[in-house]
């Protein structure tokens, strides 16, 4: 009898946990892309999306916050040849009228951004106003950052992110 009662309690706790996870997932799923927050598996970096504003070229804007305190600015533009979201991570770029060479010098990573929905299917990063996906994939982000000059001295010891970021919250 005690075993039967214990099974009911464990089963009830499991149901409660499943309901809480479903509720959190539902709340996160309702988060618009421009307010979404992501974190990599090792918790070495987070991505905070923010509204882009009236840009005709940039479709998404974000900031990557590394555990070390380094902040990188991110922008997403859609490529013309094969339409897909193409992101750039920038570090301390000059402001104002800058040349392509100046932008290239402060660009630490660039590449496509893929989204993974709750159903596990991969697709393209959604536009602002769309629901945030459950995960983002930034191919070769980790290896590329390890080669960046700002991490050259401690690239082996630097806590740098991988390529996959999971939805962790929604900004108010």
State which residues form the domain around 5: 1-30
Q: Which segments within the chain are labelled E, that is strand?
A: 36-40, 45-50, 58-66, 71-78, 85-90, 107-112, 114-116, 122-124, 135-137, 164-170
pLDDT at position 104 over 70: yes
How many domains, the chain? 2
List Cβ neighbours of 165 (8 Å cut-off, separation of 6 or more): 38, 39, 40, 45, 46, 47, 135, 136, 137, 138
52 and 106 part of one domain: yes
**40 and 76 within one domain:** yes
* pTM (two decimals): 0.78
Higher pLDDT, 79 or 110: 110
Query: Lowest-pLDDT range, 23-27, 31-35, 47-51, 154-158?
Result: 23-27
For residues 18 and 87, membership in a common domain is answered with no
Q: Which tokens in the block code for residue 115?
A: 């989204």
């Amino acid at each position: 009898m005690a075993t039967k009662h214990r099974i009911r309690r464990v089963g009830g706790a499991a149901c409660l946990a499943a309901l809480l996870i479903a509720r959190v997932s539902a709340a996160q799923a309702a988060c618009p892309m421009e307010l979404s927050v992501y974190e990599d598996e090792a918790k070495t970096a987070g991505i905070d999306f923010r509204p882009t504003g009236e840009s005709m070229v940039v479709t998404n804007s974000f900031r990557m916050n590394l555990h070390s305190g380094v902040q990188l600015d991110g922008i997403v533009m859609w490529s013309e040849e094969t339409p897909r979201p193409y992101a750039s991570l920038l570090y301390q770029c000059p402001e104002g009228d800058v040349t392509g060479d100046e932008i290239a010098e402060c660009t630490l990573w660039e590449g496509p951004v893929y989204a993974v929905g709750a159903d596990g299917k991969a697709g393209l990063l959604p536009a602002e106003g769309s629901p945030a996906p459950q995960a983002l994939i930034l191919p070769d982000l980790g290896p590329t950052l390890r080669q960046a000059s700002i991490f050259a001295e401690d690239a082996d010891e630097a806590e740098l992110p991988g390529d996959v970021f999971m939805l962790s919250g929604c900004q108010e």
